A and B are shown apart, each in its own frame.
Chain A
Amino acid sequence: MWVAMSLVENLRRDYGDFRLEIPRWEIPDQGITALWGPSGSGKTSVFRCLIGLEETAGMRWTFKGEDLAAMPAPDRRLGVVFQSLELFPHMSAEENIRFAARARGVGAEEAKARVRDLAAELRMESYLKRRAHVLSGGEAQRVALARAIVAQPRFLFLDEPFSSLDAELRREARQTVKQVILRRKIPTLLITHDPDDIQELAGQVVKMKELNRAYA
């Protein structure tokens, strides 16, 4: 089956003691692609370069005819779940999600409907009104995912999203995340060092060792 790809070219960055050199990388525009590698292999650096948190002169990222690398980070319209989740602690779970919807110009009524759908899908109804700083690890993780996808991003980035959960919750969270992402057809890049994440979630696996030419 033919799969549309987004193309990353010329991703190069020198950190002094570590170098990234990715001349060409095709990422499927659908499903979940895992970027796998041990700690310190540069996964998070790739992630930061792609979402626009690191300067990468000369990089191109062609997605459906547009060069995302030429846009400032906010204009790339990406969804992100950081390892630390970074929920806004002074807001409720619902306010966190609605904040992201408003940031992308989603109207109030539409945002309300989306929050309702996501709450049902991710089983968040019971704690939607609760402040983010009192949520449990599993609850906070779902809110972070809902916040990342409520505005229908072009691409979703997950940076070790299950690392703070215990084994039981992690299994359940993987299934929930997988269902939600695939149902909504959001192309996703999962950064992980956990082989279980790869086995349960990834449609395609890219190994840092093969991707980064600096290792060669």
Chain B
Amino acid sequence: MIPPLFLSLGLLNLAAPFGAFPYGLGAVVAAHILLNMGLVAVAFDRLVHSRLGALSETAWVLGVKSGAFWRRIAWPLLRADVGCLFLFVFSVCFTSFSIPLLLGGERGVTLEVAIHDAVRIEGRWDKAVLFAAFQSLMLFVFAWLLPQPFWPPQHARQGLRFLAWPRLKYLTLAPFLLIALGWFLGTVQNATWPDGLQGTLIPATITTVLIAVSVGFLHLLLFLAIAFVTPHARLNRFLNGYLAPSPVITGFGLLLLPGAGELIDMLKLVAALTLISLPLLYRWIVHSALAGLHGQIRVARLLGAGWSQLLFEIVVPQVALPVARAAGLAALWACGDFALTSILASDVQTLPLVMESLIGNYRMEAAQILMYPLMLVGLSVYALFVNVGRYVSR
């Protein structure tokens, strides 16, 4: 999943040559489609391999026609999962904040932006609480409707020649290519260095790195703590049933906690970013990595292994890389956050906040240039976590 700021900027640049800026509901929907295409592709790939892999090979050998296979075998087996995937993506979009804030314009107001505006612009907490209660109720219903094993673990690869047109897999690159085209157009057409910002850029970059590394590190700690107590049926059920809370509610919730000052604000921001991305990353990456260890942990415990032997010889070497990859992704996403930062730490200058303010002032040419250092920071932080994970797993 591409951080919303990168995506929005690409989309704005793509549309700019055709006239007006693409603000409004259409832009919000288009951005969410592009944002979730990769996630859906990965989930669907896993679903098909885990549910249909062996069956498709058998059906192929038995001479079942492709259409009959999809109609009679694949769809009945997949439809519940597809429904859940739809619900999951719906809930992700339902609580999306950055994109509607940036691209929503006047007409694209969503519940998230309405809550934000009720507090920030109107100062009406009563209205915000009412909206938030409704949104929380909806999220609770989604979480209740989603069954536990909704996200299938990674499965042995099966030959799917019978089921698929393998070349179609390149379609999953379409969102990235579209956005990259937007960046390219934006850069070659009118990118210019932002005047008057030289003094803020270095401290903003340092703060962005600090926040991203802290978010990644907190993910790392929490995932290792989860790995340490695994297998834990109740915790697993909770984490698989837990949907990330809305960023606005999380942001304002943490804002109400006591404490002020730049450090406290940053700590709150790190906690909020972690609360938002941890459930998705757990389902997506960590859960399947841990599921493969249950048998080994059981044997190690029976053999009398103590907690340190279990953690450092069995769990950490095998989960370090996937956990580090998840932490790296969390750090990369944190690099692109401006929405939660504007709620929780508006006095703190970060690169995305600078960019958001430039976009808000229609200074796209300057925002466009700043995207490159931001991307460099995000990818470097991601690489840092992955390399640490690789080193530890060796």
Contact = CB atoms under 8 A, between A and B. Distances in A.
Interface of A: 51-53, 73-75, 77-80, 82, 84, 86, 88-91, 99-100, 102-104, 147-148, 151
Nearest to A102: B309
B258 interface: no
A79 B303 CA distance: 7
Contacts of B314: 88
B298 to A, nearest CB: 7
Interface residues of B, number: 17
A77 B313 contact: no
A77 B305 CA distance: 11
Given A103-B305, A103-B309, A90 B318 contact: yes
A77 B304 CA distance: 7
B306 interface: yes
Nearest to A147: B303
B304 A74 contact: yes
Given A88-B314, A90-B317, A90-B318, A103 B295 contact: no
Interface string B305-331: 110010001100110000000000000
A102 B303 CA distance: 10
- Max chain A C-beta neighbours (<10 A), residue from B298, B304, B306, B313: B304
Given A99-B313, A102-B309, A103-B309, A86 B304 contact: no
- Max chain A C-beta neighbours (<10 A), residue from B299, B300, B302, B313: B302
Contacts of A147: 303
Contact of A151 (B295, B296, B299, B304): B304
Contact of A86 (B299, B309, B313): B299
A158 to B, nearest CB: 13
A74 B309 contact: no
Contact of A73 (B302, B313, B393): B302
Contact of B298 (A53, A91, A100, A148): A53
B323 to A, nearest CB: 14
Contacts of A86: 295-296, 298-299
28 contacts: A51-B302, A73-B301, A74-B304, A74-B305, A75-B304, A77-B304, A80-B303, A82-B295, A82-B299, A84-B295, A86-B296, A86-B298, A86-B299, A88-B313, A88-B314, A90-B317, A91-B313, A99-B303, A100-B303, A102-B309, A103-B300, A103-B304, A103-B305, A103-B309, A104-B303, A148-B303, A151-B303, A151-B304
Nearest to A82: B299
B290 to A, nearest CB: 15
Interface of B: 295-296, 298-306, 309, 313-314, 317-318, 393
Q: Helix, strand, loop or mixed for chain B's interface?
A: helix
Given A100-B303, A147-B303, 19 more contacts: A51-B302, A53-B302, A74-B301, A82-B299, A84-B295, A86-B298, A86-B299, A88-B314, A90-B318, A99-B303, A99-B305, A100-B304, A103-B300, A103-B303, A103-B306, A104-B303, A104-B304, A148-B303, A151-B303
Contacts of B317: 90
B322 to A, nearest CB: 13
B92 to A, nearest CB: 34
A80 B299 contact: yes
A103 B305 CA distance: 4
B302 A99 contact: no
Contacts of A74: 301-305
Nearest to A81: B299
Contacts of B306: 103
Nearest to A150: B303
A206 B244 CA distance: 53
A91 B299 CA distance: 14
Contacts of B309: 99, 102-103
- Max chain B C-beta neighbours (<10 A), residue from A78, A84, A100, A103: A103
A104 B303 CA distance: 7
Contacts of A91: 313
Contacts of B302: 51-53, 73-74, 78, 80
Nearest to A105: B304
A102 B306 CA distance: 10
A82 B300 CA distance: 12
Contacts of B299: 80, 82, 86
Nearest to B313: A99
A74 B302 CA distance: 5
Contacts of A84: 295
A104 B318 CA distance: 22
- Max chain A C-beta neighbours (<10 A), residue from B299, B300, B309, B313: B299
Contacts of B313: 88, 91, 99
A151 B299 CA distance: 14
B304 A99 contact: no
